[in-house]
Amino acid sequence: MSAKSVMVLGTTSGAGKSWLTTALCRYYARQGLKVAPFKAQNMSNNARVVSEGEIGSAQYFQALAARAVPDVRMNPLLLKPEKDTQSQVVLMGQVNAELSRMEWRGRSASVWPVVSRALDELIAENDVVVMEGAGSPAEINLKSSDIVNMRAAQHAHASCLLVTDIDRGGAFAHLYGTWALLDEAERRSIKGFVLNKFRGDAKLLAPGPQMLQDMTGVPTVATLPMWWQHGLPEEDGVFDDRSVASGAVTRTVAVIAYPRISNLDEFQPLKNVPGVRLKWVRSPADLMGADWVILPGSKHTSGDLAWLRAQGLDQAVAAHAGRGGAVLGICGGLQMLGEALIDPHGIDGNAPGLGLLPVVTVFDEAKTVRHRQAAFTPLQGLWAGLSGVGVQGYEIHHGQTAPHTAMAAAGDIARAVMPEGLAWQNQAGNVLGLYLHGMFEDPRVLKALFGAAVPTLDSVFDGLADYITEHFAPGVLQSLISDC
């Protein structure tokens, strides 16, 4: 078996590469083909646990769309930003301290043999490999060290689509400029241009697509209308507040969007629950009217906690909790809710916590990365509906959390509401913290909290495939795997 390779490139970050790659994975899988996704290098703090370690969330969902088992070869290099100039490097699913310290240009040369081997293995095992680029393939200051765009495309002899966000303006210039900055051999691999996020009458685009084809020889193969609610979890940024579930809003869920937020994609299902509004919060004013406040995961807990204090959100969250409002902390958010962060190994940093849970977190050198199935023990107060509910999710964290000894002696006891210290609740019952990511992706939890069922991921993937089938020119998607 030797796969045909299709690659989705973008003129910019945010052009629509990830969702289009996901759609193509499901489209080709529905043809009865064995399909695998691939992205050589992903920079994201949204990661998922697979059997060999962790990969970027986008490739995890692309694998599910392809009806394949996600594995580390699909995203062999994952960069998880911790500071503006520092990232944790995950190679083939495992944190690599040596690569994390290495200057990034030298890192590319070091990892290419591993990356190309992973790609070769996927090509050998599948009928189609759907590849995703990163940023732009025409960043001429970075191109000599770029392993994720044209180097990977040329290695796989991929047929490439170049997608642009027409809603930003300048789409034809973005497409032409990107094409013009590629080498001649690279230009030949571009089989079609895609205009994404179009609003209005497509006839008004003429004569732009034909003029562009006259200059480049590349046809515009799809104009994709703006689609606010495709249902796929976001990867690169917080969601748009335009996305409000159907029906009258009965519950507003406010998620603190600190700078190093991680695993934000796990909140996508809340957008689809009838009556729930998901709101991203960066200031105390944004918390007005919130029923729930969620402190999500963080790639740098002490740094995001300092940011939260600088915005005055520490006092706003405390006031919300003091009024009896519901507060939920997940992973790094759980750690922030406690009394203190203690870092004897220089992993994250020491800091006082928010003091809303009588627990203390100690950072450990060993990183916990694993799937978990657990069940809540009896809970009190606002979260009582979760009592006895089973949850399937995943852990990715360094810290270990335990009751604060002095506070426990004084009678302020944190209640463990999951086995092995996975979740804690305060005595009043309105503050809950847990290490398990993915709670809202479990239909049992959604049923217990909202009495609601939401669209399955499988139906979302089918919707994406239907969408591109409708909007791509006839025959184009099949031709991409016929003339590679």
Which of 407, 419, 403 is CA-nearest to residue 360? 403
Rounded Cα gap, residues 394 and 94, in angstroms: 16
Catalytic residue check, 331: yes
Dmax over CA atoms of the chain, in Å, equals 78
Active-site residue (options: 174, 397, 404, 437): 437
Question: Hey, how many other C-beta atoms are within 10 angstroms of the C-beta on 21?
Answer: 28
Round to the nearest angstrom and report the end-to-end CA distance of the chain. Answer: 15
Rounded Cα gap, residues 395 and 437, in angstroms: 6
Collect all residues with Cβ–Cβ distance below 8 Å to 351 and sequence separation of at least 6.
Answer: 301, 302, 305, 306, 340, 341
Rounded Cα gap, residues 90 and 71, in angstroms: 13
Active-site residue (options: 160, 300, 331, 398): 331
Contact 262, 289 (CB under 8 A): no
Contact 166, 227 (CB under 8 A): no
- Tell how strand 359-375 and strand 390-403 pair up: antiparallel
Token pair listed for 147: 């392993």
| Residues with catalytic function | 331, 437
